Amino acid sequence: MKVAGFGFKKDVTLASLRDALLAAGGPEGLAAVATVSDKADAEALKQLALECGVPIKAVPADMLAKVDTPTQSTIVAQKFGTGSVAEAAAIAAAGPRARLIATRVVSQDRTATAAIAEGDGA
């Protein structure tokens, strides 16, 4: 199961999310997209999930805080307790033995990040 995790700013656009996903490796083979629960209903993310034909997995913030990520952002760590929302969401949503196959990348306009993990599902 391949999952793309996303972190993004409130005013993110579909184009920014798409840009980040393409930079991470693209939508081929994705089973889901994931992000922190309080952003899972963002319109741009819903549009991307629809475009990719996959569901959105909402990951509770306390679950993200338990995931160690290779990328470390001080600001993200202070707010969410993990170094990268995109990486942590991808890992958490892909299942207990998930591994990153694409570390966090940033969209050109810097409003979205994406990472891809592969696992055996939850």
Show the CA angle centred on residue 42, arms to residues 41 and 44, nearest 5°.
130
Q: Would you state the pLDDT for residue 6?
A: 97
CA pair distance 82, 92, nearest whole angstrom: 12
Q: Would you state the pLDDT for residue 122?
A: 57
Distances from the Cα of 69 to the Cα of 46, 51, 64, 75, 89, angstroms: 25, 28, 10, 14, 10
Least confident of 33-47, 70-84, 88-102: 70-84
Model confidence pTM above 0.75: yes
Other CB atoms within 10 A of residue 107 CB: 23
Give 8's strand partners.
112
pLDDT band at 120 (very low <50, low <70, confident <90, very high): confident
Continuous H helices in the chain: 14-24, 43-52, 61-64, 74-80, 85-94
Which tokens is 103 given?
């570390």
